[in-house]
A and B are shown apart, each in its own frame.
Chain A
Amino acid sequence: MERPLTQHIRPGKEPLEIKQYEGAGGYASVRTAVKEMSPGDVIAAVKASNLRGRGGAGFPTGTKWADMPTLDDARRPRFLIADADEMEPGTFKDRFLLEGNPHQLIEGMILAAFSAQTEVAYIFLRPGYAPPQRRLIKAMAEAYDRGYLGKNILGTDFNLEMHLHLSAGRYICGEGVAMIQSLEGKRAIPGPRAPRTSKFGLWGNPTLVNNVETLCNAPHIINHGAEWFKGLSRCKDGGTKIFSVSGKVNRPGAWELPMGTTLREVLEQHAGGMRDGVKFRGVLPGGASTDFLLEEHLDNPMDFDSLGAVGSRLGTAAMIVLDDRTCPVGMVLNLERFFARESCGWCTPCREGIPWTVHILEQIESGNGTPEDLDLLEAQTKLLGPGRTFCALAPGAMEPLQSALKYFRDDFEQHIRMRRCPWR
């Protein structure tokens, strides 16, 4: 059982119904938690497990749960939000979990809600995710029927109402405050760093926000204990991770593997290596907003600290592979177009700077670039760096660009020299 998250996922088939899920041990953790544990016990278990947030930032989950105000804070209801607004290019791990086993998420959310003592939970779902939506609605109804949701869960005085919210579809909602603003019916704009959403979140009340994959881990920690969970991993961060691979590999897909699995192992053993006739050139290891890594980095373990050490990030572990038959300028252009489109328009560098890089990249890609354009791009990647923008969107957007300029500079220069894209 080294693949707890995906053990019940049967690709291409409907997910387990609640009876089947219960039969396979589903919701046991809820029973354990609400009947035998205190909220503090649940938090302690999650803390001990070294589970770190799977939304990209890697914040220790137990610490986040413990940060919720105590019940002395009289504001009610308290909220839990599951961030299922997965929409970065190349990232589809949450979809895999949502489609494959929606009950697992609901179970994890019940645990999180129990530990944070929230009465209301929202699943903030990307609007493009139609199959998960259908499956979540069904699973939620089943969970209500079986008494895992609603009033007096399993006969205790623990209550939890769960709502599925279909978002309006903005990448910026990945930022916690922007998501809360959006749920409140306002413009999705990132918020100030203080006060924290745990203290002043949705409708001004204490709010816990977690990624889908993070929440899905919780039942297994409760069922099998923190030590077992840590043992799943090859590094000090606990548990497994869904690694997904896209690009010209033989078997694009998503796999649950121990945290700390090397890039090479994921790419070669699970994704089946590069397709015939194409060669590996580089990879964005953690999704579209991370720096490229090269062949020389492939033996690096995939975990939060190791990838940071080589100048990239684990992010969502959504690996996008660049091959020698694909134009790196075009690939980066495609990504920057996405980030420019998804900028919320609040702060100047992001709103004006990313579209400018798009214009320049378009110019280079269409054969009209000049050598000065590279200096301009280089300058933008620095000017849009961390601390200079309001949130992390623009610095993230600059990561693939700055590393492309570093590792694939010849390709950019070739575009300018040949006055066309060499791949066309």
Chain B
Amino acid sequence: MPVIYIDNVLYEVEGGQDLLTACLSLGLNVPHFCWHPALHSVGACRQCAVKMFRDEKDTRGFIVMSCLTGVEDGCRISINDPEVKRFRASVIEWLMANHPHDCPVCDEGGECHLQDMTVMTGHNYRKYAFKKRTYKNQDLGPFIHHEMNRCIQCYRCLRYYRDYAGGRDFNVFGIHQRVSFGRAHDGTLENEFSGNLVEVCPTGVFTDKTFRRHFTRKWDLQTAPSICPHCGLGCNTIPGERYGTLRRILNRYNSEVNGYFLCDRGRFGYEFVNSDRRITRPLVKQDSGPNAFQEAVTGEEALTRFKEIFRESKGVVGIGSPRASLEANFALRSLVGADRFSCGMSSREQELVGAALGILRDGPVSPASLHDVELSDAALVLGEDVTNVAPRLALALRQAALRKLLAICEKLNIPRWNEAAVRELVRHEKGPLFIATPFGTRLDDAAAETYHAAPDDIARLGFAVANRINPYSPAVEGLSADPSEKAAVIAQALLDAHHPLVVAGVTCGEKSVLHAAANVAWALHSVGRPVKLSFTMPECNSLGVALMGGMGLEQALGMVREGTADTVVILENDLFRRVSLDQITAFLDSCKNVVVLDHLSNESTSRSDLVFPAATFAEADGTFVNNEGRAARFYQVFKPLDPIKESWRWLRDMMAITGKAQTATWHRLDDIVAAMADSEPIFEPLPTIAPPADFRAAGQKIPRQSHRESGRTAILANVTVHEPAPPADPDSALTFSMEGYRGIPPSSLTPRYWASGWNSVQALYRFQERISGPLRGGDPGKRLIEPDEHRDVSYFRDVPARFEARDGKWLIVPAHHIFGSEELSVLSPGIAERTTRPYLGLYPQDAGLLELNEGQYANLMINGKMLTLPVRMNPTLPRGVASLPKGLPDMEWMDLPAWGRVTAAGEDPRGFNP
């Protein structure tokens, strides 16, 4: 490793990096703006200047930008040289010349990188005595607030939005001292990752608009480490709370998972926690028939009622949930018994998730973390509209598409950190990213090749690729020229790659696609390529409940129909989103008693006899298992209003009251985690994924509140003038207090990033082992699935027949939407505003056959139902295939893909003309 001298102190640093990264990794303070660990160096802001000396005799030295200077063995620099310090202070002075100094009313104030850097450089008295420039702000939609006057023109936003995230509706405008950033016209930022601008912007130009509506300073937010509950990737987050409302979500860095960025669903979907649809009291159904109503009762009354229900019952089935924690599912399984426990997924979904799990667990190829995805240099996506089902994965794939191109730069000795040069070099190239989906996706622009076909044909393409890589995998009969050529190109690109990747998933709804993906991965593995597999999962704990086992939902419904059970306990699961309306209505009607635990009122809760108010992810501790099998702990951010409780606690109480002995020892989360670890070998590591509740750092708990939390004695003054004791937290080493350990806690217990002199999110540098490396002491979470790479495989042989379009019928494929298809986030107003209306996607010529134009209504006969929907033309759909949004609010559940009959609806059924 090269050694460098910084202010005459010798340091050993990694080669191949720029000096700024090296200095920050060493914990040295070098101010900077345009450099960002994920966006690298462009040399725009000139803030990171350091002095460089030719040799030990050189005393004058010369100023260089540390971000644009590579580490060279023996090089000598100075951060503290007076001349360069003066220069850095003057850079701040220039930036501050036009900055409005409106920190007291700025949402960034107190966690502002510009403030930090200003203090760091020592600039304080302004000499600029002229008028400041001003700008007009733009309305950028429900997520991002724009305040252009604060801009210091570091160009980070532009580089993030366009180069990193692939957005096209954002740009830099104007020239010289009138440069501005935003959209050409007011309007919603279209990119699915726009929320990261909030963290990328070093000052208050782009701030969180949802946070703004219930704003609280960073130091007044109570925060805890958490996991995003809105898709299966398990991105790490930091939610913040004050006065019992959840205020915002920030990214929590995990070098293996989400790195520096979140998607907009994850960042802005949190407001369901504050929804007025929250269930805040236990509810008991009174009367029956049309007069029935739900009455609020106390927790004890509800449990007593449950005891009666349980005693009267012939048999109880438990329906778990892929969006509830492992602990809650396990408690439910313990309550009803493993043979009466359902994983809460429809049979089709369970089969698909099970197939994916089987491939990961029993095959030789390991699952890809998001970091692995970013490092892959060729990727094949089969079937999944990644941007809409596992958004952060799409952002990772976008980076992967660049990876192969970096070879061009290496050949020219252009290091990766030299971002401007790298972008220049690769600007006209596309890396080997191949996307095969039923219709165009928002990631297609990054792909070298796309293939839009029916799911069966996508599977056939995958099987053909596998066959080209290893002829022992089954061949595809009668493959036409186009997919055959594509398969050859894809197979070659995957073979040429150092780190090939195959992406598939559950949401496209075809098992053969998963099998095709497995064959490709296994074929690559068989020829010695270090391939990885990434399967998207629909929900935050899909894989977790799949590991737990249990029957499919239809089977559980069958038990009631057949009379082996008459009572159901439903855990955090709106069954109306899982199976058909007829099935679920019949089921609920035939149940003698329906008991539901959930956060929000929905169809299922409103039809139940007993409702327990369950804590959301922000009010509970628990474990989710993400799509790669990584178990990660999330922690209570705040104590919910009494009597809302974690589902597992309710279930434990139910077990206790119904005389289940094992709960006697389930006092706190660690106890139930230990019980889980005992129950299944795969869960054995669970107690080790995070420190136990007894963990203490230097003898202290880790405070959820900052050292500057204000109003501690006043917050509850309307209730009592005495300062109440903070709520106890028996479940974790965190405490609901501002008192406790102030150092860097274990990574899975880090409630916020804050360090001396670093008040903004950039304080993260101090928590990383090195810039963009793992968090100190290792990243949180632990993989439960680590396949044995020497395992033999037998290739899947279920190559489907070629898709044939049918007369008058269309294969209806599900279209997932990042905003709208996920149950909880859609209850957040910002997400709701972005949610699409129901529609039927048709290929224009297919629509022409039906004499339908854009926006006109079509009748769709599907699953024995008739839906009337406006037509949306989608020229990327294959002929004979139509798309129907999945999971939108107010849309009935449909089992997709399925064949449907489409006819023109004639007159607009809703009373107005299209």
Q: Which residues of A contact B (CB under 8 A)?
A: 170, 177, 187, 191-192, 194-195, 199-200, 203-204, 340-349, 351-353, 355-356, 359, 372, 376, 379, 383, 387-390
Contact = CB atoms under 8 A, between A and B. Distances in A.
Contact of B44 (A348, A376, A379): A348
B contacts with A: majority SS: loop
Interface in B451-472: none
B414 interface: yes
Contact of A192 (B177, B418, B428): B418
Given A192-B418, A195-B424, A343-B177, A387 B64 contact: yes
Interface stretch (B90-98, B238-246, B343-351): B90-98
A348 B176 contact: no
A181 to B, nearest CB: 9
Contacts of A389: 46
Given A170-B175, A383-B87, A348 B421 contact: no
Interface in B403-442: 412-414, 418, 420-421, 424-425, 427-429
Interface residues of B, number: 42
Given A204-B428, A387-B64, A344 B46 contact: no
Closest 3 CB pairs of A and B: A352-B94, A345-B179, A192-B421
Interface in B240-296: none
A345 B46 contact: no
A388 B52 CA distance: 13
Contacts of B43: 192, 347, 390
B82 interface: no
Given A204-B427, A383-B90, A390 B44 contact: yes
B155 A346 contact: yes
Interface in B42-93: 42-47, 49, 62-64, 87, 90-91
Contacts of B420: 191-192
Contacts of A356: 94, 97, 128, 130
A388 B63 contact: yes
Contact of B46 (A177, A191, A203, A388): A388
Contacts of A203: 428
Contacts of B47: 348
A246 to B, nearest CB: 25
A37 B20 CA distance: 50
B19 to A, nearest CB: 15
B46 A390 contact: yes
A379 B128 CA distance: 13
Contacts of A346: 44, 155
A35 B174 CA distance: 49
Contacts, number: 104
Given A344-B176, A356-B130, 8 more contacts: A192-B418, A343-B175, A345-B179, A346-B44, A348-B94, A348-B153, A388-B63, A389-B46
Which residue among A177, A195, A199 has the maximum number of chain B CB atoms within 10 Å of its CB?
A195
Contacts of A343: 175-177
A187 B87 contact: no
B171 to A, nearest CB: 9
Contacts of A376: 127
A376 B125 CA distance: 14
Contact of B176 (A204, A342, A372, A387): A342
B176 A359 contact: no
Contacts of B418: 192, 194
B106 interface: no
A399 B127 CA distance: 23
A348 B427 CA distance: 25
Which residue among B46, B64, B421 has the maximum number of chain A CB atoms within 10 Å of its CB?
B46
Contacts of A191: 420-421, 424
A349 B88 CA distance: 10
B421 A345 contact: no
A199 B413 CA distance: 13
Contacts of B153: 345, 348, 351
A222 to B, nearest CB: 33
B412 A195 contact: yes
Nearest to A349: B46
Given A192-B424, A199-B412, A355-B176, A387 B63 contact: yes
A228 B130 CA distance: 57
A194 B414 contact: yes
B20 to A, nearest CB: 15
Contacts of B87: 383, 388
B177 A344 contact: no
Nearest to A345: B179
B582 to A, nearest CB: 57
B495 interface: no
29 contacts: A192-B421, A194-B413, A195-B414, A195-B424, A200-B424, A203-B428, A204-B428, A342-B176, A343-B176, A345-B174, A345-B175, A345-B176, A345-B178, A345-B179, A346-B155, A348-B45, A348-B94, A348-B95, A349-B46, A349-B90, A351-B94, A351-B177, A351-B179, A352-B95, A352-B98, A353-B94, A359-B130, A388-B49, A390-B44
B90 A200 contact: no
A7 to B, nearest CB: 40
A379 B94 CA distance: 12
A352 B412 contact: no
B172 interface: yes
Which residue among A187, A348, A379, A387 has the maximum number of chain B CB atoms within 10 Å of its CB?
A348
Contacts of B175: 170, 343-345
Nearest to A390: B43
A187 B159 CA distance: 14
B48 to A, nearest CB: 11
B46 A348 contact: yes
Nearest to A196: B412
A349 B424 CA distance: 24
Nearest to A186: B427
B122 to A, nearest CB: 15
Contact of A352 (B63, B177, B425): B177
Contacts of A390: 43-44, 46
Nearest to A177: B424
Contacts of B176: 340-345, 351, 355
Nearest to B158: A187
A362 to B, nearest CB: 9
Interface string B144-157: 00000000110100
A402 to B, nearest CB: 16
Given A195-B414, A340-B176, A347 B428 contact: no
A194 B44 contact: no
A345 B49 CA distance: 19
A200 B46 contact: no
A355 B177 contact: yes
B366 to A, nearest CB: 36
Contacts of A194: 412-414, 418, 421
